[in-house]
Structure 1
Amino acid sequence: MLSRTLLCVAFASASTPLLADTVWLKNGDKLTGTIKVFDGGKLLLNTKYAGDIPLDWKEIKTLESDQHLLVKQDATTGEISKSLQPAEDGKVTLANGDAPKTVELASIQQIMKPKPVVTDLVWKGNIDAALDFQRAENDTDDYNIAFKTSATHGQWRHNAKGEYNRESQDSLTTTNNWDAEYSVDRFFTDKWFWDGRITYKRDTIEDLARQRTVGTGPGYQFWDDELGAFKVGALLNRTDFEYSNGEKDNFYSVSGTWDYNRYLIGKKVEFFTNGEVGKPISGVADYSLETEVGLRYKVTEWASLNLKAEKDIISGSDNGDLDKTRYTAGFGVAW
């Protein structure tokens, strides 16, 4: 009797279909998989047969999911739905016990898995490291560690990044610098935001020993979703330079910033670039440029190999020009 019961349970389990989310498109297609996120006009559906598929929200007729999902119809408030049920064309039903609610798909701004404390928190970032040790006629050690992260909650986005570089040859240090930056963005619409930031740089080798910058200005977010992000901004800055000989400069400047990343080949490869180009209002320097561009290749869901190039230029300074280019290759983690 026990064996017969276990056999029936096994057959029942094998015949029960695995739960999956379903998306119906306006062209009549039906896709199954797991809904990961809806943001920036794209619904990201993870499938076993094609990986992550971005779907245009305007082409979706209705959808179904047994996941607990946070559904936001504006930038600040949202509702955690126990499941999503299909409805008539252009609508979906949010099932929450005895009070289901049918809403227009066009009214939904964001869908995500709720977080345990801050339900609409979106936190992402990466840490990259490059190490190079050469033992030959000249011993060379080269270290580069960089991190970048952002956390979005409601109408606020907090950003932080930093980097440390050190090179030495035969125990003589030839490069030793680090920098850190914090910025906060306040969104007024889905795209427009106001940016405030502070940056500090320290170099123990170059003539420009310390650099402090405080800036503020408007920005525009073209997109920010599971497949990448692109934003630009304009800043009015106050910068303080301190040189190794003790001299100091301070001046105001205007600058333009950009931050772009895009996932390619089924999210296996990420192309990224970011930077800032500035023009002092006074005659302290002609212009400044700080930028990086690179690629990351995902080895696993969290580990990656990276290759990047960095460029720093200060042209026309009274204390001499600065022009540095650095190439690094290494490994990293992302979340």
Structure 2
Amino acid sequence: MRLSNKLSHALSCAALTLAATPALADTVWLKNGDRLTGTIKVFDGGKLVVETSYGGTIPVDWKQVKTLESDRELMVKQDEFTGERAKSLKAAEDGKVTLINGEAPKTVELASIEQIIKPKPILEDLVWKGNVDVGLDYKRAETDTDDYDVDFKTTARHGAWRHNAEGGYNRESQDEVTTTNNWNAEYALDRFLDEHWFWQGRVSYTRDHIEDVSSQRTIGTGPGYQFWDDELGAFSLATLVNQNDYEYKDGGSDNFYSLGLKWDYNRYLVGKTFELFSNGELGKPIGGDSEYELDAEAGLRYKVTDWASLNMKAEKNIVSGAKDGEIDETRYSVGFGVGW
């Protein structure tokens, strides 16, 4: 009986000890003497992003990091295209970190590291992100209105290649009469030549069942520049030479070449709680009848959780001076979405 009491007391002490032991966490030591504990999410674009339980998501200037450690597997890249999968990271002397991988640990300079990400099961350096936004509006009054707005956008990067896909569907009706009914899809492939410069090829299609311009097909290619792309946002510009094919509701058609300036911008604020975004393209025909084209959107997302958000945005679509018809549409929407 006495032995049983001792055993019970020992087990109780062990349980209390385990309960009081803090969960394993990554640690970042800063040059000013501070220390952050949490989970290293990513290092990219000069910013180390650490998720903490006490301060949310904290971006840290990489130049202010003295050393760091993590017990998780991480992909550490010392150039733009190749990397090493480390079983863990161990703190080293100032300005360095030790990569633990089997029996041959390797200490490297922090300044030599270009990126730290969580490895993927197949393509280890694959970075995939995107979002889907949905807006719905039903009004029942003297005039019944139904409004649907669904948009998606996603990018996936592996090494020197980046795949971009986006699309949307808009439909609006009043008293069972359809006033807006269109959809669009686009795919672009980027080949990075160095850290910032890339070459893009893209194809897009827009179908409209209401407006005079019933369909638009565009194939383009040209150089682009990535100003930044990290956990806190991205900004790129691309200049394209496009071949455009228009078809009109009355059966007419237009074929011409154009020059286009395409932009893609997003930025997180207040610890990634808010996201500002804008993307679109401004085009000028080469010897065509239309004066210019603009297809753009801008908006704000509020992150409710890590994956869910509320959004509001404005969209503008202009085809000015077309031979058989023009477009001048502005849409405002409020809705919800998911992101990854």
Select which of 169, 176, 183 maps to 1:171. 176
3-state secondary structure, aligned to 1:317? coil
Distance apart, 1:164 and its partner CA: 0.3
Q: Counterpart of 1:69?
A: 74
Q: Distance in 2 between matches of 1:167 and 1:33?
A: 47
Give the letter for the 2:73 counterpart: H
The residue identity in structure 2 corresponding to 1:10 is A
What CA distance in whole angstroms lies between the structure 2 residues aligned with 1:155 and 1:113? Answer: 18
Out of 141, 144, 150, which is 1:145 matched to?
150
In structure 2, runs of 5+ residues without a counterpart are: none
Give the whole-Å Cα distance in 1 for the aligned partners of 2:230 and 2:24: 25
* 2:25 equivalent in structure 1: 20
SS in 1 for 2:8: helix
Aligned to 1:212: 217
Q: CA RMSD in A?
A: 1.2
Question: How far apart, CA to CA, are the structure 1 residues paired with 2:92 and 2:113?
Answer: 15
Q: Distance in 2 between matches of 1:267 and 1:133?
A: 31
Is 2:83 aligned against 1:78? Answer: yes
Deviation, 1:318, is 1.6
**Which secondary structure state, in structure 2, belongs to the residue aligned with residue 66 of structure 1?**
coil
List 4+ stretches of structure 1 deviating above 4 A. none
1:330 aligned residue: 335
Q: Please, which moves more after superposition, 262-271 or 181-190? A: 262-271
Gap regions ≥5 residues in structure 1: none
Offset from partner CA, 1:209-256 (integer Å, 9 cap, x none): 010000111111111111111111110100000001111111111011
Written as runs of structure 1 = structure 2, the 5 A alignment for 1:42-121 is 42-121=47-126
Q: TM-score scaled to structure 1, two decimals?
A: 0.97
Alignment TM-score, normalising by the size of structure 2: 0.96
Secondary structure of the equivalent of 1:215? Answer: strand
> Which residue, out of 247, 255, 258, partners 2:252?
247
Aligned partner letter, 1:210: S
The DSSP-based 3-state class of the residue aligned with 2:306 is: coil
Q: Provide the aligned length of Structure 1 versus Structure 2.
A: 335
- Deviation (angstroms), 1:15: 4.1
- Match among 186, 192, 200 for residue 191 of structure 2: 186
Partner of residue 298, structure 2: 293
Greater shift in the superposed pair: 17-26 or 229-238: 17-26
> 1:222 corresponds to which residue?
227
SS of the aligned residue for 1:49 comes to: coil
2:296 is the counterpart of 1:274: no
Question: Residue 326 of structure 2 corresponds to which residue in structure 1?
Answer: 321
